[in-house]
C-alpha cells in the first residue's frame, strides 16, 4: 500500500513533539518525594541500651532489653586467656655446641703455659712479674705473686690427671651449662626449651641441668677423690672455673616468637546476645558480673557510632533510583492502558509500601508482646511478617508484568534498607514479588480474585521455600524458630492481597486508572446505554459493533488491549442517540430524510453535534478519559464532505462566502494508535456498506483510499506510535475481517429466496 506522509513538517524533537524540560513544580515534588521516603527509610542509631555510668549497687530504673542481635568480644577475658597462654610458654634457650670443646682447649693451653713458665721462673726469678701479666692477658686470671710462686714451685696442677678431668667435664658440657639456676627464666613447671643447630628442640627440667655453682662443688669433690689437698683444691678450682664456659643462653627473641604464636592461637572470647534478651529487669540491683556485660554493650554501641549519618546514603540511593526509573519509563514504550501514569503510580505505591513497612516494624513487636501465647522469636523474624508483596500485586494488576518486575527490584532494595540493610530480606522480597507478578499474568486481570490466587498459590510457596533455605543453611538451626518464620510468611501472604484489593480502588479513583476488569464491565452490551442505543439508533448500534470487531482484530495484531479498543469503539458514537434521525444508518427506523428540510450548514451542524453530545454523555456515564477520547478524536478535524460539497454547489460566488470551519469537526486529531484505529475502522465500516457484493480487491481499494485520504489530510500528524508498519498491520487486519464477513456462501438447498413477480419492474 502507498501512503502519503508529510516528511517536511517542522519537528524540533523526537516523534514530532517538543521535548520539554521538567517543570519547577515537578522538580519540587521529586525533591519532596525523595526527602519523605528517605526519612521513612532512615533508621536512626538506636538509643544506647545502657551507659557506662552505671555502677555496682545501682538500681535498674527500667528493663534493659537487647533490641537486636549483638555479638561482643569480651576483651577482658580474651586478654586474660592470652596472658595465660603467654605465661605457659616455655622459655627458649639456645645451646651453643661450638663451646663444647672450649674448656678442654683452655686447660691444655694452661698446662702448656705452666710448663714453659715454670722453666723460665726457675732460671730467672725476676720473670715472675712478666709471667703474671701474661696470665692476666691471655687467660684473664688475676693471681697474687704468692699464689703464682706456689703454683710454679709446687707444680700443683701436675697432681691432676688431665684425661680423667676431661671425662669428668664432658657430661656437663653435653647436657648444658647455665650461668645460674637462681636467675634462669623457666616455665611454671620448671622447664626450659633448648634449641640447637645440631639436634631437635627438647624440653628439659632446670633441676636436671647444671649451673656454674654446682659444677664448682662437683669439681671440688672430684679433686678430693684424687687425693689432692684442700689448699691445692682451692687453687685448682679457682683456675679451672675460669675456663668453664656457659653453653645455654636465654633467647629473648625466640621466646617472644613463641609467646606471639601462643597468643595468636587464642580465639577471642565472644558473647552473643540475642534480640529480645532481658539483661536486667526494672528494680534489679546491679552486681559486679552485670557491670561487665553493661560495659561491653556500652563499648560496642560506641564503636557503631558513625561520623556521617546513613540518611545521606539513603538519600543518594533514592535520588539515583528516582532518576533511573523516571528515565527508564520515559524511554520504555509500554502498550499498557495507563502507561502515562505508570511512573506516578509506581512512586506513590513505593511510598505507601515503605510507610506500611515502617508501621509494621513498629506494631508487630508490640502485638506479639501483648498476646497471651508465649512465642520464641527473633526481632529479625518479624521482617518476614511484613506484607512486602502487596505493591507488586498492585502494579502487576493495574499495569503489566514488565512494570511489576521493575517495581519488584526497586521494592527489594528499599525493603533491604528499611530492614537494617539485611541482604536476605532483599532476596526474600525479590523472589516473592517476582512470583506474585508472574502469577497475576498467569491468572489474567479480568477478576480481582487473581490477586488472592497469586498470593496463596504462588507467593506463599515461594516465600516458604526461601524461609526453609535460609534456616536450613544456617549452622545454628532452630526448628521452633523456623516454624514461627513459616507462620509469619503465611501471615504476610494473607495480608498482602487484602492491602492490594483495598488500595487498587483508591488508586483508580485518585489517578483515574482503568484496568481490564473495568473495561469488561464497560463492554457489557446489557448496560442501559447500549439498550437505549439499540432502541433509538439500531443502525448506530450495529455500526458500533462492526467498528469494535474491526478494531479488535487490528488491536490483537498490534499487541494492544482488545478490551480497551472494544470499549472505545462501542462508545465512540453514543452522541448519535440524541438525534438518531440525522444519520443514514438509522434510516430503517426513521425513513424520512430530515436533511431535506435543512440547508447544508444546518445539516453539518447536526452531524457534528454528535461529538459534543457524546462527550456530555461520557461525563454523565463517568467514562474513563482513555475511552471518552475516542468520541472526540474518531473524526479528527475532517470535513463533513457530503454537505460541504452540497454547499459548494449552492454557493453564489458573487454574493456568498462559505466558511469551511462550519463543516469541519472541532475534535482533536488522534493522539495515539488506538484512536487512529477507531478513526479508520469507523470510515472503513461505513464505506464497506456501500458495496453490495464486495470482492477482496474492492475492500482493499476502500481501505487504501481511506488511509491515503486521512494521511493527506494530516489526521495522523499528532498520533503517537503510528508507523508505516502499523498501518500495514491495521489494513491487513481490516481486509481479513471484512473478507470473512462478506465472503460468498452456497445457496441454501430446497429454497428460492428471490421474490417472484410477474409484473415488470417499475422504477
Q: 3-state SS string over 640-670?
A: CHHHHHHHHHHCCCCCCCCCHHHHECCCCCC
Judge whether residue 558 has pLDDT over 80: yes
pLDDT at 730: 93
pLDDT at 763: 34
SS3 content of the chain, % helix, strand, coil (to 5): 65, 5, 30
The region of weakest confidence among 16-20, 307-311, 629-633 is 16-20
Judge whether residue 747 has pLDDT over 60: no
With cut-offs at 50, 70 and 90, classify the pLDDT of residue 658: confident
Comparing 634 with 223, the larger pLDDT belongs to: 634
Q: In the chain, which residues fall in CATH 1.10.3210?
A: 518-741
Residue identified by cell 477507531 is 678
Q: In the chain, which residues fall in CATH 1.10.1760?
A: 334-513
3-state secondary structure of 378: coil
On whether the CB atoms of residues 509 and 502 are closer than 8 A, the answer is no
- pLDDT by residue (tens digit) across 197-255? 878 888 888 888 888 888 888 888 888 887 888 888 888 888 888 888 888 888 888 88
Q: Kindly state the percentage of the chain with pLDDT values over 90.
A: 25
| Mean pLDDT of the region 729-753 | 73
Q: Which residues contact 448 (CB under 8 A, 6 or more apart)?
A: 397, 501, 504, 517
The region of weakest confidence among 85-89, 336-340, 425-429, 658-662 is 336-340
- The cell for 591 is 425513513
- pLDDT by residue (tens digit) across 569-614? 999 999 999 888 888 888 877 777 787 778 888 888 888 889 999 9
pLDDT at 654: 47
pLDDT at 692: 72
pLDDT at 17: 44
The region of weakest confidence among 112-121, 367-376, 683-692, 709-718 is 367-376
Judge whether residue 7 has pLDDT over 50: no
Comparing 654 with 680, the larger pLDDT belongs to: 680
What dotted CATH number matches 518-741? 1.10.3210
- pLDDT by residue (tens digit) across 84-135? 888 888 999 988 877 667 778 888 888 888 888 888 888 888 888 888 888 8
At 93, phi and psi to the nearest 5? -120, 140
Judge whether residue 565 has pLDDT over 90: yes
With cut-offs at 50, 70 and 90, classify the pLDDT of residue 15: very low
DSSP 139-189: H-----HHHHHHHHHHTGGGGS-HHHHHHHHHHHHHH-EES-STT----TT
- Topology of domain 334-513 in CATH is Arp2/3 complex 21 kDa subunit ARPC3 (1.10.1760)
pLDDT at 756: 47
- pLDDT by residue (tens digit) across 484-514? 888 899 999 999 999 999 999 899 889 888 8
Nearest to 644 by CA among 607, 682, 601, 609: 601
With cut-offs at 50, 70 and 90, classify the pLDDT of residue 335: low
pLDDT at 670: 94
pLDDT at 461: 92
The region of weakest confidence among 124-128, 527-531, 656-660, 713-717 is 656-660
Judge whether residue 452 has pLDDT over 50: yes
Judge whether residue 24 has pLDDT over 90: no
Which helix (H) or strand (E) covers residue 220, if one does?
helix 212-225
Q: What is the Cα–Cα distance from 419 to 695, expressed in whole angstroms?
A: 68
State if pTM tops 0.75: no
| Mean pLDDT of the region 719-728 | 89
Judge whether residue 547 has pLDDT over 90: yes
Q: Kindly state the percentage of the chain with pLDDT values over 70.
A: 84
Mean pLDDT over all residues of the chain?
81
- The cell for 445 is 486481570
Pairs from 10-15 (Cβ < 8 Å, separation ≥ 24): 15/720
- The cell for 104 is 678442654
Comparing 476 with 235, the larger pLDDT belongs to: 235
Judge whether residue 331 has pLDDT over 70: no
The region of weakest confidence among 407-421, 522-536, 737-751 is 737-751
- pLDDT by residue (tens digit) across 386-428? 999 999 999 999 888 888 999 999 999 999 888 888 888 999 9
The C-alpha angle 452, 457, 461, rounded to 5 degrees, equals 125
- Rg over CA atoms, the chain: 53
On whether the CB atoms of residues 674 and 624 are closer than 8 A, the answer is no
Comparing 292 with 444, the larger pLDDT belongs to: 444
3-state secondary structure of 545: helix
3-state secondary structure of 305: coil
Counting DSSP H helices and E strands in the chain, the numbers are 28, 10
Amino acid at each position: 500500500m502507498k501512503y502519503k506522509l508529510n516528511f517536511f513538517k517542522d519537528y524540533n524533537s523526537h516523534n514530532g513533539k517538543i521535548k520539554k524540560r521538567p517543570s519547577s513544580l515537578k522538580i519540587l515534588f521529586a525533591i519532596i518525594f525523595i526527602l519523605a521516603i528517605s526519612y521513612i527509610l532512615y533508621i536512626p542509631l538506636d538509643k544506647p541500651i545502657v551507659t557506662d555510668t552505671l555502677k555496682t549497687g545501682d538500681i535498674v530504673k527500667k528493663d534493659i532489653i537487647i533490641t537486636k542481635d549483638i555479638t561482643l568480644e569480651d576483651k577482658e577475658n580474651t586478654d586474660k586467656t592470652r596472658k595465660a597462654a603467654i605465661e605457659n610458654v616455655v622459655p627458649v634457650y639456645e645451646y651453643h655446641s661450638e663451646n663444647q670443646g672450649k674448656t678442654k682447649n683452655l686447660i691444655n693451653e694452661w698446662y702448656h703455659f705452666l710448663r714453659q713458665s715454670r722453666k723460665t721462673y726457675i732460671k730467672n726469678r725476676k720473670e715472675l712479674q712478666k709471667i703474671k701479666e701474661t696470665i692476666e692477658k691471655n687467660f684473664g686470671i688475676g693471681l697474687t705473686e704468692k699464689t703464682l710462686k706456689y703454683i710454679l714451685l709446687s707444680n700443683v696442677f701436675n697432681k691432676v690427671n688431665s684425661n680423667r678431668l676431661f671425662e669428668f667435664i664432658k657430661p656437663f658440657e653435653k647436657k648444658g651449662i647455665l650461668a645460674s639456676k637462681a636467675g634462669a627464666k623457666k616455665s611454671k613447671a620448671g622447664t626450659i626449651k633448648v634449641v640447637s643447630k645440631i639436634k631437635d628442640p627438647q624440653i628439659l627440667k632446670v633441676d636436671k641441668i647444671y649451673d656454674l655453682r654446682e659444677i664448682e662443688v662437683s669439681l671440688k669433690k672430684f679433686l678430693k677423690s684424687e687425693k689432692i689437698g684442700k689448699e691445692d683444691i682451692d687453687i685448682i678450682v679457682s683456675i679451672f672455673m675460669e675456663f668453664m664456659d656457659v653453653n645455654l643462653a636465654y633467647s629473648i627473641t625466640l621466646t617472644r616468637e613463641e609467646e606471639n604464636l601462643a597468643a595468636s592461637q587464642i580465639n577471642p572470647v565472644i558473647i552473643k546476645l540475642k534480640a529480645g534478651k532481658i539483661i536486667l529487669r526494672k528494680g534489679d540491683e546491679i552486681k559486679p558480673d552485670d557491670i561487665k556485660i553493661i560495659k561491653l554493650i556500652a563499648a560496642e554501641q560506641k564503636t557503631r557510632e558513625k561520623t556521617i549519618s546513613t540518611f545521606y546514603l539513603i538519600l543518594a540511593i533514592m535520588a539515583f533510583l528516582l532518576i533511573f526509573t523516571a528515565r527508564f519509563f520515559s524511554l520504555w514504550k509500554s502498550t499498557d492502558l495507563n502507561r502515562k501514569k505508570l511512573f506516578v503510580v509506581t512512586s506513590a505505591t513505593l511510598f505507601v509500601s515503605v510507610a506500611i513497612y515502617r508501621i509494621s516494624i513498629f506494631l508487630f513487636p508490640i502485638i506479639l508482646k501483648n498476646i497471651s501465647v508465649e512465642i520464641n522469636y527473633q526481632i529479625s523474624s518479624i521482617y518476614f511478617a511484613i506484607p512486602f508483596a502487596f505493591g507488586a500485586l498492585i502494579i502487576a494488576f493495574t499495569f503489566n508484568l514488565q512494570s511489576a518486575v521493575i517495581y519488584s527490584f526497586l521494592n527489594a532494595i528499599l525493603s533491604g534498607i528499611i530492614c537494617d540493610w539485611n541482604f536476605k530480606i532483599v532476596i526474600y522480597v525479590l523472589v516473592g514479588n517476582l512470583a506474585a507478578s508472574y502469577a497475576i499474568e498467569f491468572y489474567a486481570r479480568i477478576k480481582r480474585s487473581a490477586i488472592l490466587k497469586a498470593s496463596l498459590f504462588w507467593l506463599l510457596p515461594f516465600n516458604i521455600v526461601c524461609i526453609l533455605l535460609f534456616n536450613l543453611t544456617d549452622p545454628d538451626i532452630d526448628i521452633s524458630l523456623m516454624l514461627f518464620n513459616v507462620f509469619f510468611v503465611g501471615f504476610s501472604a494473607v495480608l498482602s492481597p487484602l492491602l492490594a484489593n483495598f488500595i487498587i480502588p483508591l488508586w483508580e479513583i485518585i489517578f483515574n486508572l482503568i484496568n481490564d476488569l473495568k473495561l469488561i464491565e464497560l463492554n457489557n452490551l446489557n448496560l442501559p446505554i447500549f439498550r437505549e442505543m439499540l432502541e433509538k439508533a439500531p443502525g448506530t448500534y450495529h455500526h458500533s459493533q462492526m467498528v469494535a470487531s474491526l478494531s479488535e482484530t487490528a488491536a490483537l495484531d498490534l499487541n494492544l488491549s482488545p478490551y480497551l479498543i472494544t470499549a472505545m469503539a462501542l462508545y465512540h458514537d453514543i452522541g448519535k442517540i440524541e438525534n438518531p434521525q440525522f444519520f443514514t444508518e438509522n434510516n430503517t427506523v426513521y425513513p424520512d430524510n430530515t436533511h431535506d428540510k435543512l440547508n447544508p450548514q444546518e445539516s453539518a451542524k447536526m452531524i457534528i453535534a454528535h461529538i459534543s453530545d457524546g462527550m456530555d454523555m461520557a461525563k454523565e456515564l463517568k467514562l474513563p478519559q482513555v475511552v471518552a477520547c475516542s468520541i472526540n478524536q474518531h473524526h479528527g478535524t475532517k470535513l463533513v464532505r457530503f454537505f460541504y460539497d452540497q454547499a459548494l454547489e449552492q454557493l453564489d460566488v458573487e454574493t456568498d462566502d462559505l466558511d469551511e470551519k462550519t463543516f469541519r469537526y472541532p475534535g482533536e486529531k488522534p493522539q495515539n494508535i488506538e484512536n487512529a484505529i477507531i478513526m479508520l475502522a469507523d470510515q472503513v465500516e461505513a464505506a464497506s456498506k456501500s458495496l453490495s457484493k464486495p470482492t477482496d480487491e474492492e475492500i482493499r481499494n476502500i481501505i487504501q483510499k481511506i488511509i491515503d485520504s486521512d494521511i493527506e489530510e494530516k489526521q495522523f500528524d499528532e498520533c503517537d506510535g503510528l508507523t508505516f508498519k502499523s498501518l500495514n498491520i491495521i489494513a491487513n487486519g481490516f481486509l481479513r475481517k471484512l473478507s470473512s464477513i462478506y465472503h460468498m456462501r452456497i445457496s441454501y438447498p430446497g429454497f428460492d429466496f428471490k421474490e417472484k413477480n410477474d409484473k415488470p419492474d417499475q422504477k
